[in-house]
Amino acid sequence: MNVLIVDDEALARARIHRLLNQIGDFTAIHEAENGKEAVELVEKLSPDLVLMDIQMPLMDGIEAARHMSELETPPAIIFCTAYDEYAIEAFNVQAVGYLLKPVRTEDLKQSLNKLSKINKVQAKELTKDERRTHISTRTHSGLELIPVENIRLFRADQKYVSVFHSYADEKGEVLIDESLKVLEEEFSGLFERVHRNSLVAVRHIVRLHKNEEGGHWLELEGLSEPVPVSRRHLAGVRKLLKTL
């Protein structure tokens, strides 16, 4: 069975590697230092199992697990962490295995005997109280991770939501199968509802202006076209702009 080891500490990765060699029938095919790198490697290498820390820089293990669940063939996941509070969360969801650091050989053996693949429902339950740092979507080139800080606009498009993002001179648009309402709740304070079908990134608002027809529009940094503001949300937008 092919295994990906994910931990921001080199010594912890080395320990897991040694334990796997002792147990046998498991091959560590690669290592990652954070959740974002782990998601990219899972997409590329398709490991059977991911042994992953929870608290890591850039993207934590819980969010990484959610993104992995979007893959056509998600791996089985076992969390290895030093933080007790996460044990209850993982156990209640019964989504993945859980091991407390320092990992012992016998505990690892028991978890390996109970492997189960995490599905989308379980992954979303794990992250229901967590604000993601990235949005994931499947494109023609595979799974794409978009940093939330690069997103300018969420716009509802029938059953999907269009995500407009920009970084430096690169701009893009992808579709995700998520609810605008759920996104609004998750990213409250970072994104503002300006229309029944639009959420804009607060940090990228440039200015509000009125056109010749009397409609109001928001200009966003990194977005070429202005975003219409509905009458219903105009007062809230004006109030927000006074705080920026």
CA distances from 61 to 34, 107, 118, 149, 152 (A): 8, 20, 13, 19, 25
| pLDDT value of residue 2 | 92
Q: Please classify residue 55 by burial: count the beta carbons closer than 10 Å to its beta carbon, then call 0-12 exposed, 13-18 middle and 19+ buried.
A: middle
Domain limits for position 224: 147-243
**Helix ranges, 9-49 (H):** 10-23, 35-45
| pLDDT value of residue 94 | 40
Q: What CATH number did the domain enclosing 24 receive?
A: 3.40.50.2300
Q: Could you give the CA distance from residue 192 to residue 85 in angstroms, rounded to a whole number? A: 32
Q: Quote the pTM value.
A: 0.73
Asked if residue 172 and residue 223 are part of one domain, the reply reads yes
Contact (Cβ atoms closer than 8 angstroms) between residue 29 and residue 47:
yes
Q: What CATH number did the domain enclosing 238 receive?
A: 2.40.50.1020
| pLDDT value of residue 70 | 84
Asked if residue 162 and residue 61 are part of one domain, the reply reads no
Asked if residue 226 and residue 176 are part of one domain, the reply reads yes
Q: Could you give the CA distance from residue 130 to residue 40 in angstroms, rounded to a whole number? A: 21
| pLDDT value of residue 25 | 83
Using omega within 30 degrees of 0 as the cis cutoff, is the peptide bond preceding 57 cis?
no
Q: What is the pLDDT of residues 118-173, one digit of tens each?
A: 555 566 665 665 789 999 988 777 889 999 999 999 999 888 999 999 998 889 99
| pLDDT value of residue 145 | 93
| pLDDT value of residue 91 | 44
Confirm whether 133 is domain-assigned. Answer: no
Asked if residue 114 and residue 15 are part of one domain, the reply reads yes
Stretches in the chain below the pLDDT threshold 50: 88, 91-95
Q: Which of 54, 138, 150, 144 is nearest to 96 (CA)?
A: 54
| pLDDT value of residue 38 | 97
Counts for the chain of helices (H) and strands (E), in that order:
8, 15
